[in-house]
Structure formats: C-alpha cells, structure tokens
Structure 1
Amino acid sequence: MAEPAGAVTIRSVSTPAEAECFIRLPATLDDGWSIPLFADTRRIFDPRFNAALSEWEVPRFLAFRDGEPAGRIAASLPRGGGNVGGFGFLALQQDPAVLRALLDAARGWLAGRGAARMRGPVSFTINHEIGVLVEGGGLPMPRMPRNPSWLPGMLDAYGLRREMDVLACTLELARETHRTRFSRLLERWPGRDGLRIRRLQTRHLAREVALVREVFNDAWAANWGAVPVSEAEAATMARLLRPMLLTGAVFFAEWEGETIGLVSLIPNIEPQAAALQGRLLPFGWAGMLRALCGGARSARLPMLGIRQRWRGTPVGAHAMGALLSAAIGWAERRGWERLEISWILEHNAPMLQAMARLPAPISGRWRLWADALPPDPVKHSD
C-alpha cells in the first residue's frame, strides 16, 4: 500500500546509494548545519579506516517525505551491548514530524538491544563530536558542530531531558597574560627542575599516540560520561592526527621522568572546509592543504589534562601552567590569533577558573540530552 502524501517514512541505510545520501544530506538542507567534508564522513563509516567500528554498532537511518530525503540520524552502542546508547549525526528539515521519526528509529533500535538510556547527540562516542550548539559559537572549529537555532527547542518538545552542557572558551592571543604570570610562579617553585615539557615526536607516532591514550584514559576517567579510548580507536586517532601535526602539536608534561599530563592543538581548517560544501574536488583540496600547512589563523585546543594522581598538588598545578604556556607559545609562533579551548564540562569549576585567568571567556555552549528507554520484550542480536 502506498504511503499517504506527506507521510514521513524511515529507511535503514543498507545500500551504497543510501550511504551516499546519508553523507550528503546536510548539504541539501537550509543554512545553519555543519557540512563535514564528504570524504571525512565516508572514512568514519569505513571499517577499513575506522578500526573502532569493530567495537561499536552504528546503524544509520534516513527519513523520507514524498520520496525525498528529509533527515538523517545514527544510533550507537558498544558491540555486545551497553546500558547507555547514543544518537548522533543528526541533520534534518525544520519539521517536528521528521525529528520524531528519526529519534523513534534510534530509540527503537537501542531498546531492542537492551539499552536503558539514550544520550546525544554523540557521533558516535563522547570522545568525538558531541552536542547541539545552543549559545554563541564564534568561529567554526573542527569537530564542534553547528546547527540551526530551532533545533534545541525541537529536541525539548520531543520530550528529551537536558543532561549536560559543554563549553568552549576562546583566548585572544593579543590579550594573553598567562605566560608572564606563570613564569614568575615557576621561578619561585623549588621543584621546577623536575618538570619538563616536551613535544610529541612524529617519527615515533604510534608509540606517542599510545602514550596519549594512556594519559587520556587516566586523566579523563572520572569525568561525566567518560568512555576510555580503546587500542582500535587510538589507531584511528593516529591516522587522523598525522596531517594535523603539520602545524598542530601535542605536548607532554613529565615530572621526574613520568608523563603526567598533555595538551594538544590543531589548526582551525573549518572555515576552509565549510566553504567547500562538503566537496574536496576539483580544487578544494588545495585550500585545505594551505590551511593545514600554515594558512590557518586560529586553532582549537581539544585536550588539556593531568593524571588523577597529581590533581590538587603543586606538581599538577605547575604542570598545567607549563602546558598552557607551551600551547600559547606554539600558537604565537604559528601566527594563530585565537585559540579555542573546547570542550569543557559546565560543572568543571577548576578548569573554568583557569580559563578566566588566561583570560579565555566562555564563547560557546553545546547541549546533550537524554531519555529513558522502555524495556523491549524482544531483544535483537543482529
């Protein structure tokens, strides 16, 4: 029987044509949505590139109205099951019926596999792109999504419950006061000779990324929503990180030979990427290469952390200050005018106090929602 005119239907992505439709859909919508490079989205869903897909199930769904694509969503759950599942890669027309159909599809799939809660947007774990922009935003930045202003209200109206906000803080390099203040503090600290800051060695990238994983999984373990980075995910991280390190950097803090913290910086290639409407060909790759090799005017700082053992100690405090000094110095040498530190949990008072001292005021807010899932009488395993 034919669907009534105007009805919204959901289709699970199962063919190459549907997969390509999913990838390109944000570029067909009205202004306001992030439009990632099509090639990047293809890699995320390619198990030959993204080894983490061996550990996660990430089904994709498309919404259609009158035969035309009207929205997309993906669900996510660890293989073998889990209590909390995710929804993400959300993009759609301004239509509550389309949103409801998409979220219902993700809810049904997750409930059918035993998940008790749905959280999102997460694409596809909290270690990657998360949230809906609800306030501010400033310059577009890599992996910091953008969306139309009507989306938060529509998610509320669906019945999702606000669960957490994450923040971006932006430092204008011309206004930075941290290094001068910190250098005086460091000079007076008796332990300064035991603290060393070193840059990641790209010639040993696999070994160094393993160290990043080790520090990250300790430093972020107690955070809200924390999900450890697996070996497979770290392998994918190494592939993604290599081109960013042409001008970006990772610095480690070492105390008497032990690595106790890290900070990372990546050039902001998002303005160039956004102008391409998803397409690298025929000439978009040239602009992206220029941005990666020194053409960027700003950068994002996505990781800044100290191992839990050293939190609240003079060693940890000085290591944090030294990492920030190294990051700011690198940004200055690269000619970056702005540095976005993102994201930061809204209740992370110590980090927000550190941002205020830089000074790096809050410049954007992204929100995650959650919903309880009803028990599903028929558990699926396919």
Structure 2
Amino acid sequence: MASCGQPLIDNPETSAELLGKAIKGTAMAHTDLVISPVFSKADRKAFVELPWRLYANDPNWVAPLKQEAYDLITPGKNPFFEHAEAGYFLARRGDRVVGRISAHIDHLATGMPVEQGMGPGTGHFGLFEADDDAAAKALLAAAEDWLRGKGMTRVLGPISLSIWEEPGLLIQGHDHPPTVMMGHDSPAYQAMIEGAGYRPVKQLKTYELDITKNFPPLIQRIVSSGEKNERIRIRNVDKSRFDEEAAIILHILNDAWGKNWGFVPITDSEVAFTGKKLKPLVFNDLIMIAELDGEPVAFMMTLPDLNEPLKPLRGSLFPFGWAKLLLWLRKPRSRTMRVPLMGVVQRLQASRLASQLAFMMIEYIRRNATAHYGAERGEIGWVLDDNQGMNAIADAIESKVNKVYQIYEKAL
C-alpha cells in the first residue's frame, strides 16, 4: 500500500529508467519538457491539484472534494486497487506542472470477453490533463510505455479510474456544468488525443429533460396500465435497510448490465465504498425498485445534483463549506436530478414489460422530485450509444442529448 511519502506506482523502477521510457521520442523535439513518475508527497499534491489551475477560468468546471480526489488514486483508500494497479505521471517545464496522466490495469476488466470491449491485454489511461499538445503526446506515450511494459497490447481511455467512475472524454456539452459524478474536460483534449493516434470506439450520452412537464399521453397510458397490473409493484427503497437494498440493486445491476459493452463486475468492497459516499444523497422517494410477482426485477436510482452546492466550495469544506453542505443535504433543494443507474433483468429486456416498468419508475420519481425537492430538470446517463432500449426510452419521454463522452482505443 502506498502512503503519501512512498512511490505511487507498482514495482517502481529507478527514476532514471522510468524517465527514459516516459520521454522516449519526445526529448529531442521538446528538451524543456520532462515527464516523470509520481513518487513523492509533493508529486502527489501536484498531480491531484493541477485541475484547479487549468480550469480556474472555466465557469463550468466543478471542483471535486480534494480529499475524495486524493482517495481516488490511493491504494487502501479506493477498493478499485484490490483488483487493479496504476502508474501516475506528471509533465513539467521547469518548476511548472503542465500535465498529468494515469496508466492502469483493471484485472477484472482483462478477464472479460473481448467482444464486450475489454478483455485480455487491455489497459487504460485516465485522469488526463495537459496544457498543450506536446505535453499531451508525451504523457500519452509515457502511459503507453508503462502499459506495454506490463504486457498490455491495447489501451482504452480516458477511463478515470474505473468504468464505473468517470469514463470517456467530454466532446459535446462544454457549455454547462456536469452533474454529480460526471466529468468535465477541456475542449482542446479531443484533438490532442486523436492527434496521438487514438480512434473513437464508443460514445456515452447523457439526456436532459424538463421534468416539470407531464410526459406524452402514450407514456401516461403505459403507466396507468401498469398500475392496474396486480403483478407489478413499484416501491421506494428503505434507507433504514440500506445494506439489504443495496444488495438487491447490485444483483439486478450485474444481471441487467452483464452483456453491455465495457461491463466490469462491481465487487462487494466497491459497493460498500460507493455506498458510503452516496448514502447522504440517498432519499427513499428518489430510488425505486420494481417487483414482478414479488421478485425485484428492475430499479432506478436518482440523485439530487450535489454539484450544485459543491461548485462554489472549489473543492474545500473549510472553513464553512462543511456546514453549508450539511445544511443542503438535510433537505436538498436541487434544480437538477441525475439518473446514474437503472436496469431491468436480462430475461425481461426484450419484453414490453421492461419499458413499462422503466416508464413507471421514471414517472413516480419525476413526481417526487418536483414536489419534494423543487427539481425542474432531469438528466439520464450515461447511456451507451448502442443501447437501443435506453435510447428509445429517452426519446419516448422527449429528452434531448446534452453531453457526449468519447472513449478511444489504440493498439500498443
């Protein structure tokens, strides 16, 4: 386990060896640019806090809580590292940090079928930031060299760090802030990454809609029909039985998403870790479980947009940010609600019942969100570009794509 004063890469080589690999092919053209692995406490601080400088003038960037940003990259804090390993690199010109990148291998992902997007030999890059094209190319080369040295033959990215956290590069929708647990990137990064030889492999979309308006008449009839079906029960989650409800949702999620592109199973440790972070955002009437003949077969999770109160805090809870955040969490008033996850078990996905259950949960949560939290806007996503069922549901409730995230690949 790495601590603040220890190297933050697995089985580190000497600084000279890693530095030589990292700047391979770039030193001649950019003699002032140095790529180095993150070793020290100062390096770690520079790595985590670089975005605060790069996005200082971007009105749509929302700073994460700094402690969570540190925990994300720290083995022993983030259970992702129970099945993954990572190396981190910084780009510097003199004393100025001009970029960062992670290279990482998720050993659960390498065990997935190749046709689902991951598979043997697939590593990732993520946490990518760069001041300019030269720094970007050198950082990507360093990540590729690290992955190649670990036996990887293909790289996917950006994925920061798990597919369940912040996958993809924002390529559309830079003109408004992201919702909770979604990423925001400089519009310059698309050309940087594509210029380094990466090709698009998958798009993730988010949809937005005005939830103050009733859904179209057809959807209302589908919901009404479901309410008359005695086999169907749509219920709120019970936060007082948090662990039990989380286990039900996880079971449905792993079944519903199991054949999706990019799917990687979530471990019990990751569920507990994420559950602890999200528990303050869990409200009984914003998360629904659908039962068919008494069996849980679908769920929909909705979260108030924590980014709304976080944005003015700039990542710090001190001196008074913690009090403001606690006050908001006690009874949140949120303009936006985000649906990060929903799913229906695979055996029902080809049936009309699947969409009916989805529409019922969406409608019930829409009513609660507007009546109890003052919400006006909903955001659904991310949704895979080839997920026909979810894209059709989003179209049926008259939502529109508001952000697109791109995942790239490159052979090593």
TM-score (normalizing by structure 2): 0.83
Give distance in 1, aligned partners of 2:227 and 2:360: 15
CA RMSD of aligned residues (A): 2.4
In structure 1, what is the equivalent of residue 381 of structure 2? Answer: 342
Report the CA distance shift for 1:117/1:291 in structure 2 as closer, same or farther (over 3 A): farther
Give distance in 1, aligned partners of 2:291 and 2:215: 24
TM-aligned CA deviation for residue 122 of structure 1? 0.7
Q: How many residues align?
A: 371
What pairs with 1:48-87 in structure 2 (closer than 5 Å)?
A: 48-79=76-107, 82-87=120-125
Check the 8 A contact 2:48/2:69 in 1, yes or no: yes
Alignment equivalent of 1:355, drawn from 385, 394, 397: 394
Check the 8 A contact 1:34/1:147 in 2, yes or no: no
Alignment equivalent of 1:44, drawn from 66, 72, 80: 72
Alignment equivalent of 2:52, drawn from 19, 27, 30: 27
In structure 2, what is the equivalent of residue 230 of structure 1? Answer: 267
Report the CA distance shift for 1:140/1:288 in structure 2 as closer, same or farther (over 3 A): farther
Check the 8 A contact 1:167/1:345 in 2, yes or no: yes
Report the CA distance shift for 1:326/1:188 in structure 2 as closer, same or farther (over 3 A): closer
TM-aligned CA deviation for residue 79 of structure 1? 4.5
TM-aligned CA deviation for residue 286 of structure 1? 2.9
In structure 2, what is the equivalent of residue 378 of structure 1? Answer: none
Q: Find out whether 1:297 has 2:335 as its counterpart.
A: yes
Provide the secondary structure at the position in 1 that maps to 2:162.
Answer: coil
Check the 8 A contact 1:247/1:266 in 2, yes or no: no
Provide the secondary structure at the position in 1 that maps to 2:298.
Answer: strand
Structure 1: 4+ residue segments shifted above 6 A: none
In structure 2, what is the equivalent of residue 252 of structure 1? Answer: 289
| Structure 2 residue identity aligned to 1:360 | S
Provide the secondary structure at the position in 1 that maps to 2:212.
Answer: helix
TM-score (normalizing by structure 1): 0.90
In structure 2, what is the equivalent of residue 323 of structure 1? Answer: 361
Give distance in 2, aligned partners of 1:40 and 1:119: 24
Q: Find out whether 1:368 has 2:407 as its counterpart.
A: yes
In structure 2, what is the equivalent of residue 166 of structure 1? Answer: 204
Give distance in 2, aligned partners of 1:243 and 1:46: 23
In structure 2, what is the equivalent of residue 274 of structure 1? Answer: 311
TM-aligned CA deviation for residue 57 of structure 1? 1.0
Give distance in 1, aligned partners of 2:335 and 2:356: 29
Give distance in 2, aligned partners of 1:368 and 1:53: 22
Provide the secondary structure at the position in 1 that maps to 2:386.
Answer: coil
Give distance in 2, aligned partners of 1:323 and 1:135: 28
Check the 8 A contact 2:238/2:284 in 1, yes or no: no
Alignment equivalent of 2:213, drawn from 169, 175, 178: 175
Provide the secondary structure at the position in 2 that maps to 1:60.
Answer: strand
What pairs with 1:75-224 in structure 2 (closer than 5 Å)?
A: 75-79=103-107, 82-93=120-131, 95-137=132-174, 138-177=176-215, 181-188=218-225, 192-224=229-261
| Structure 1 residue identity aligned to 2:38 | V
Give distance in 2, aligned partners of 1:248 and 1:17: 44
| Structure 2 residue identity aligned to 1:275 | P
Deviations 1:59-88 (A, max 9, x none): 221111112211111122125964211111
In structure 2, what is the equivalent of residue 380 of structure 1? Answer: none
Structure 2: give runs of 5+ residues left out of the alignment: 1-15, 17-26, 111-119
Give distance in 2, aligned partners of 1:207 and 1:259: 12
| Structure 2 residue identity aligned to 1:11 | S
Provide the secondary structure at the position in 1 that maps to 2:314.
Answer: coil
Give distance in 2, aligned partners of 1:196 and 1:240: 29
Give distance in 2, aligned partners of 1:301 and 1:218: 19
| Structure 1 residue identity aligned to 2:235 | R
Structure with more contact order per residue of length (Cα contacts < 8 Å, sep ≥ 6): 1
| Structure 2 residue identity aligned to 1:77 | I
Deviations 1:68-118 (A, max 9, x none): 21111112212596421111111221x111111211111111111122211
Give distance in 1, aligned partners of 2:223 and 2:205: 29
Give distance in 2, aligned partners of 1:305 and 1:264: 9
Give distance in 1, aligned partners of 2:267 and 2:275: 12
Provide the secondary structure at the position in 2 that maps to 1:59.
Answer: strand
TM-aligned CA deviation for residue 274 of structure 1? 2.7
Report the CA distance shift for 1:298/1:233 in structure 2 as closer, same or farther (over 3 A): same
Provide the secondary structure at the position in 1 that maps to 2:259.
Answer: coil
TM-aligned CA deviation for residue 229 of structure 1? 1.0
Give distance in 2, aligned partners of 1:184 and 1:248: 22
Structure 1: give runs of 5+ residues left out of the alignment: 374-382
